[in-house]
Amino acid sequence: MTKKLSRILYCEDEPDIQEVARLSLEVVGGFTVLIASSGAEAVAQAEAFNPDLLLLDVMMPGLDGPATLAALRKIPALAKTPAVFMTAKVQRNEIERFLALGALEVVPKPFDPMTLPATLEGIWNRAQGA
C-alpha cells in the first residue's frame, strides 16, 4: 500500500503566491503545509517538519530552488524526499535541467489553485508507483 501525501514543505518568497498556494493546498487539498519564505528558512525547518513532498520555487533571492534542493539533499532524513519545482521558466531545456537536478516534475506558474492539489497528488502517486 502506498503512503498518502499529507505534508508539504512549500518554499516561495512571494507572499501573495504563498497565500494562494496555502489556501489551495490546505483548503482544497486538505494537506498540512509549512511555508518557508527563503531557501535558508526551508533548510532550517524542513527536517523538524518531516515533509512528504518538497515544493520549491525556482527563482528566489539567496538560495534559489536548485540550491535549496541541493542543501536539503545533504540532510540525511530528506535525502530521498520527493521534490517538485514550481516556476514560470518552462522552456524544455529548463525543465530538463530541473529534472536532472532530481525533481520529479515541474509545475508551471501561474498555477490553478483549484487543480494544484490534484496535480501534486498525481505526481506523488506516480512516484510511489500507485
Share of the chain above pLDDT 90, in %: 92
This prediction's pTM: 0.96
| 7-124: CATH topology | Rossmann fold (3.40.50)
The burial class, CB within 10 Å (0-12 / 13-18 / 19+), for 98 is buried
What are the structural domain ranges in the chain? 7-124
Question: Rounded to whole angstroms, how far apart are CA atoms 98 and 90?
Answer: 10
Residue 89: pLDDT above 90? no
Residues in CB range of 5: below 8 A, 6 or more apart: 31, 52, 53, 120, 121, 124, 125
Question: Rounded to whole angstroms, how far apart are CA atoms 58 and 68?
Answer: 9
Residue 130: pLDDT above 70? no
Cell numbers found for residue 64: 534559489
Residue 121: pLDDT above 60? yes
